[in-house]
């Protein structure tokens, strides 16, 4: 069954309490849900306390909306509340949808309509024509993603000769889901992706970086997507405010699919994202799209407190 359009009310709250006053602060916010052909931002507000002395709205080099804030007076706390209403339309490619329907009917060939993965790799190779500029920036190493032999070796079992690219990516996603343990205590944002591969545990951010490392090591273009995923409370219990969290998944470029399309894969949940995933921003890795980051003068020790609530609008 093809998903129907979904609407969500999003609240993303971040707060800092500093051990000593901060005299100067500059913050960069990726907290405005991105608009695309499958996602519309119906309402969006950001409330900041204390008030910023300067504010600038722009798009980053990946087309994500960005808000820059400056605080030029002493303050001992910072609170940022982003509230949005977003509409998400079904956006699985037609070839993927038909493959899903055939699979649900018991006919083999899941995602087999995509081109061989080698042809996609060759279309993205140096010297290939036409030059796919939009995709090429997502082929190389970045702050949290590595292009190394060990990642290509891990991916090789999924990328067998002649295999359709989306079927190969789906197989890699399923292997990560089945072979790696979700463990919030196992890693931090600074944990190298090679450590994640060796120890086989982490969180959604780690699995996205791992999958990106595998895909780029195979010569493919793949980007990091940050956003939200609706979580379901136990049967009979109400949804808890702040119980949700930011999520991360990957998107793979297929130049021969519908004139060139990005297709999303969620290795943490072993599924193809559609209307249940809300996109916030995308880039090469987490460093490009961190919801809130900045520099401060003073403050001493501090840790952010983050609460996310995703509520479906019926």
94-289: same fold as 6-88+290-312? Answer: no
What pLDDT, in 10s, does the model give residues 32-61? 999 999 999 999 999 999 999 999 999 999
Output the CATH code of domain 94-289.
3.10.620.30
pLDDT exceeds cutoff 50 at 107? no
CATH classification (class only), 6-88+290-312: mainly beta
pLDDT exceeds cutoff 90 at 131? no
**Domain spans of the chain, in order of start:** 6-88+290-312, 94-289
State residue 95's pLDDT score.
Answer: 56
In the structure, what pLDDT confidence band is assigned to residue 260 with cuts at 50, 70 and 90? low
State residue 181's pLDDT score.
Answer: 95
DSSP secondary structure letters along the chain: -PPPPEEEEEEEEEEEEEEEEEEEEEEEE--SPPPBTTEEEEEEEEEEESPPSEEEEEE-TTS-EEEEEEE-S-EEEEEEEEEEEEEE-----HHHHHHHHHHHTT-S-TTTTSPBHHHHHHHHSTT-SS--HHHHTTSS--SS----HHHHHHHHTTS-TT-BHHHHHHHHHHHHHHHSEE-TTS--TTS-HHHHHHHTEE-HHHHHHHHHHHHHHTT--EEEEEEEE---PPTT-PPPTTBB-EEEEEEEEETTSTTSEEEEEBTTTTB--STTEEEEEEESSHHHH-SEEEEEEE--S---EEEEEEEE--
State residue 243's pLDDT score.
Answer: 65
In the structure, what pLDDT confidence band is assigned to residue 191 with cuts at 50, 70 and 90? very high
pTM across the whole model: 0.92
């Amino acid at each position: 069954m093809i998903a129907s359009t979904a609407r969500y009310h999003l609240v993303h709250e971040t707060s800092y309490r500093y051990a000593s006053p901060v005299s100067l602060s500059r913050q960069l916010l990726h907290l405005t849900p991105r608009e695309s052909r499958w996602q519309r931002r119906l309402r969006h507000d950001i409330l900041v306390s204390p008030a910023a002395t300067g504010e600038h709205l722009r798009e980053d080099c990946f087309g994500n909306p960005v808000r820059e804030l400056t605080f030029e007076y002493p303050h001992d706390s910072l609170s940022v509340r982003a509230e949005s209403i977003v509409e998400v339309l079904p956006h699985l490619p037609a070839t993927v949808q038909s493959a899903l329907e055939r699979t649900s009917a018991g006919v083999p060939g899941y995602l087999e309509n995509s081109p061989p993965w080698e042809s996609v790799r060759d279309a993205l190779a140096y010297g290939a024509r036409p030059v796919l500029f939009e995709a090429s920036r997502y082929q190389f190493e970045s702050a949290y993603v590595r292009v190394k032999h060990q990642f290509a070796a891990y991916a090789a079992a999924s990328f067998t000769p002649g295999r359709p690219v989306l079927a190969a990516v789906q197989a890699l996603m399923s292997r990560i889901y089945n072979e790696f343990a979700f463990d919030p205590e196992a890693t931090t944002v600074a944990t190298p992706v090679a450590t994640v591969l060796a120890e086989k545990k982490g969180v959604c951010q780690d699995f996205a970086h791992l999958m990106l490392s595998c895909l780029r090591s195979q010569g493919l273009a793949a980007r990091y997507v940050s956003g939200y995923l609706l979580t379901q409370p136990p049967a009979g219990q109400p949804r808890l405010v702040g119980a949700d969290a930011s999520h991360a998944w990957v998107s793979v470029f297929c130049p021969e699919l519908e004139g060139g399309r990005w297709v999303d894969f969620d290795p943490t949940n072993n599924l193809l994202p559609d209307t249940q995933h809300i996109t916030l921003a995308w880039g090469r890795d987490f460093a490009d799209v961190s919801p809130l980051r900045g520099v401060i003068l003073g403050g001493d020790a501090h840790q952010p407190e983050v609460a996310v609530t995703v509520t479906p609008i019926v």
